[in-house]
Amino acid sequence: MPPRKKAETPAPSSPERGGGNKAQTINDIARLAQVSKKTVSRVINQSPLVHKETRDRVEAVMREVNYTPDPFARSLAFRRSFLIGMVYDNPTAQYIVNMQNGALDGIRDSGFELVVHPCDSRNPAYIDGVRRFVQQQKLFGVMLVPRVSEDQALADMLAEIDCRYARIASVSLDHASRMLITHDRDGAAEAADYLHALGHREIALITGPASYRSAHERTAGFIEALQRHGLELPRHRVIEAGYTFESGVAAAERLLAGKDRPSAIFAGNDEMAAGVYKVALRSGISIPQQLSVIGFDDSPLASRLWPAMSSVRLPIRDMGRIAASMLLQNEPTAAAALATASVRPHLIIRDSCQPPG
Amino acid sequence: MPPRKKAETPAPSSPERGGGNKAQTINDIARLAQVSKKTVSRVINQSPLVHKETRDRVEAVMREVNYTPDPFARSLAFRRSFLIGMVYDNPTAQYIVNMQNGALDGIRDSGFELVVHPCDSRNPAYIDGVRRFVQQQKLFGVMLVPRVSEDQALADMLAEIDCRYARIASVSLDHASRMLITHDRDGAAEAADYLHALGHREIALITGPASYRSAHERTAGFIEALQRHGLELPRHRVIEAGYTFESGVAAAERLLAGKDRPSAIFAGNDEMAAGVYKVALRSGISIPQQLSVIGFDDSPLASRLWPAMSSVRLPIRDMGRIAASMLLQNEPTAAAALATASVRPHLIIRDSCQPPG
DNA sequence: CTGAAAGCGCTTACAG
DNA sequence: CTGAAAGCGCTTACAG
């Protein structure tokens, strides 16, 4: 049994080992472990076709000399890099940073690195930009963050050039192994339940732009939950805005103008909810005594406002971690299993709501 | 004159050109342009040792077949990648995103990509983390963002492993070709001038932690400017806080407690200034009628608060662009020249200040 | 100014 | 289960 014999061969004496700081190569490891470089390669790539004893010996040597394979040599030979791309449009900075940190959690110690690619999805040419990015860097895979994640043309292009991707969106838009669903609907429903439980019946809603799936989901979740309580939102109490602070201000101005004011407002994101705060403060309407407000995103803004604002939080960092892990999975079923890890929003209760006066 | 002769040789007929989508290699270009691959390599690397006519011909072919050299093959041969790292500690999300976008501006169309590396400088082991990051990815260079940019041990480590870096900081800490100075001092002085011009004499200051150069610079700039106007800040009107919202709240509570309130407060960043807002609103002290407030950073928060807060803005995106460009520069003098491009803060005036009542 | 040879550090067929 | 050869797409000496 040659393997056994080899396993008992004493390791080469230390003088041979790479003492200097210069990086070791696969050839050094092969020599030190007394195997061919191909076998070292198999160990690196976790091939099952290696005797356990051989593997152990090789791994011991790699650990001893602190060896890590050169990612560029591997990229060249593999014709595919060890880079994960994060493609995003233009949500809030905190969202991006959280998502990035999560993605870094997901690829930690995997030898992969994260490279970022902001883009402007209003310009259709952005898809070509992503294509160049993917092809030139031979990206291993890309994470698609809302709202670009909702663009089927982008997903189609990636499939065409055979690039892995993971889409993060509020509803399923693709095969389970490529989707991370955020269930925004449930979060909005929780906000509705909470306001209803507090006793609010005169409720208004400021929605995001209809072109965003998240806006649609949040709106639907909120309205349906109220309906389950037997409450119907009148048309004039539902205003579509643009997910921006300014649009939130404009919507709040309409909602809070007359005498027939709602006692509570739910906004589709924190930016718009901050707009409600501005109008209320300016008009002398006190929060929460005269008006309850809930946002969505739990951005830093929510806790910086006064009174601190209740908001629906999405576990963005976890989402980033899971999406990145999905990309690294070789089995679609394993990826799909990761995706079902419950990424659920939940309401963070602060000081912006109370029972209606 | 062989070159001339070659220049007049008709280009190979189109059937030979790479019609398919598969990526061209340097060999294809060499064949099509009828030169050696080494000459193509010279053109790629902008070597001056190529006849203009040869160069033009090669470049024409590269353009025609839409050729871009494989970054991984180059990385392998160069023993250095085409990746720029951005190393940062933990400032605000907007700061990071702006800096990233600026860095991407700086490397656009250069063939370089940006890879991010957040870290925790409170743990001294972070330097080893950066070292591994740099060595494993054979980073071409790294951008150091405050506060890690202030850590001399980190810079020393990078110099030791021969990695280029660009430090972004409020004062000079290194050779001009590796420093981008942000002159925070000037921005704080502008805030002081403004408050003084409005007529404020009872002024207070909430500083960042003494361990941050930026905090030191902003504090010094503010105090010195007031001194130039003959105003001395009493000790009890200067409170050191931690650059966080909560620490700003605590500082504001002390400042606004007794009857002897200041008529204006300058905070070393917007987070702390938002803390001042909270305390003022909660205590029924109206801004700007009874209290003027100025922050620093011009974060999104500043314009979301009500009344919209005046704040000192740093051109962060420009800073990111310049720092990245410096890294790509081969001549230290050229890098230094870029760095002197005036990155100056300036005060954005909104609605949070007025003459004292 | 231009080129033929060797090499960067890995992996993919192909054998055994 | 293991290995010798060839190759990934570039660049670095070395010549001329």
For every residue of A221-278, DSSP letters joined together read HHHHHHHHTT----GGGEEE--SSHHHHHHHHHHHTSSS---SEEEESSHHHHHHHHH
Contact A282/B at CB under 8 A: yes
What is the spatial distance between Cα B62 and Cα A305, in angstroms, rounded to a whole number?
55
Nucleotide nearest to B36 (CA to C1'): C3
**Higher-pLDDT residue of A260, A16:** A260
Lowest mean pLDDT among A46-60, A214-228, B212-226: A46-60
Instruction: Name the CATH architecture for the domain at A83-182+317-339.
Output: 3-Layer(aba) Sandwich (3.40)
Dump pLDDT digits (tens) for B59-116.
999 998 989 999 999 999 999 999 999 999 977 888 999 999 999 999 998 889 999 9
Nucleotide nearest to B49 (CA to C1'): C1
What is the spatial distance between Cα A140 and Cα A112, in angstroms, rounded to a whole number?
9
Contact A272/B at CB under 8 A: no
Dump pLDDT digits (tens) for B145-191.
999 999 999 999 999 999 999 999 999 999 999 999 999 999 999 99
What is the spatial distance between Cα B99 and Cα B195, in angstroms, rounded to a whole number?
29
Spell out which residues of A between 10 and 29 contact strand C, using CB within 7 Å.
Answer: 23, 25-27
Band the pLDDT of A21: cuts 50, 70, 90. Answer: low
Is B287's pLDDT higher than 50?
A: yes
CA distance B113 to chain A (A): 7
Specify whether the CB–CB gap between A60 and A12 falls below 8 A. no
Decide if A83-182+317-339 and A184-314 have a common fold: yes
> Which chain B residues are within 8 Å of A303, Cβ to Cβ?
245
**Among B115, B165, B117, B94, CA closest to B328:** B165
What is the spatial distance between Cα B148 and Cα A116, in angstroms, rounded to a whole number?
21
Would you call the peptide bond into B15 cis, given omega within 30 degrees of 0 as the criterion?
Answer: no
Lowest mean pLDDT among A134-143, A188-197, B10-19, B20-29: B10-19
Using CB atoms, which residue from B75, B93, B303 is nearest to A97? B93
Give me the residue label for tokens 């394979």.
A69
Lowest mean pLDDT among A238-252, B11-25, B311-325: B11-25
Give me the residue label for tokens 């990155």.
B343
Q: Considering only residues 208 to 247 of chain B, which have any Cβ-Cβ distance to chain A shorter than 8 Å?
A: 245
The two three-digit tokens of residue B100, written as one number:
């990233």
Q: What percent of chain B has pLDDT over 90?
A: 78
Backbone torsion region of residue B164, taken as left when φ is above 0, otherwise alpha when ψ lies between -120 and 50, otherwise beta: beta
User: Which residue of chain A has the CA closest to B94?
Assistant: A93
Contact B87/A at CB under 8 A: no
**How many Cα neighbours within 13 Å face the side chain of B173?**
26
CATH number of A26-76: 1.10.260.40
Band the pLDDT of A259: cuts 50, 70, 90. Answer: confident
Q: What is the CA radius of gyration of chain B?
A: 27
Report which residue is nearest nucleotide C7 when distances run from CA to C1'. B77
Using CB atoms, which residue from A76, A98, A301 is nearest to B72? A76
Integer angstrom CA distances of residue B36 from B54, B223, B256: 11, 66, 76
What is the spatial distance between Cα B163 and Cα B87, in angstroms, rounded to a whole number?
13
**Protein B49 CA to nucleic acid C1 C1', in Å?**
6
**Protein B67 CA to nucleic acid C14 C1', in Å?**
32
What is the spatial distance between Cα A228 and Cα A221, in angstroms, rounded to a whole number?
11
Inspect the interface and report whether the beta carbons of B271 and A136 lie closer than 8 Å: no
3-state secondary structure of B335: helix
User: Which residue of chain A has the CA closest to B134?
Assistant: A113
H helix or E strand, kind and range, residue B169: strand B164-169
Q: CB-based burial of residue A178 (10 Å sphere; 0-12 exposed, 13-18 middle, 19+ buried)?
A: buried
Q: What is the pLDDT of residue B2?
A: 30
What is the spatial distance between Cα B143 and Cα B219, in angstroms, rounded to a whole number?
26
Nucleotide nearest to A24 (CA to C1'): C9
Those nucleotides of strand C lying less than 7 Å from any protein Cβ are 1-5, 7-13
Give me the residue label for tokens 């909430």.
B206
CATH number of A184-314: 3.40.50.2300
Q: What is the CA radius of gyration of chain A?
A: 27
Predicted TM-score (pTM) of the model is 0.89
Dump pLDDT digits (tens) for A170-223.
999 999 999 999 999 999 999 999 999 999 999 999 999 999 999 999 999 999
Residue-range domain boundaries for chain A: 26-76, 83-182+317-339, 184-314
CA distance B157 to chain A (A): 14
Mean pLDDT of chain A: 91
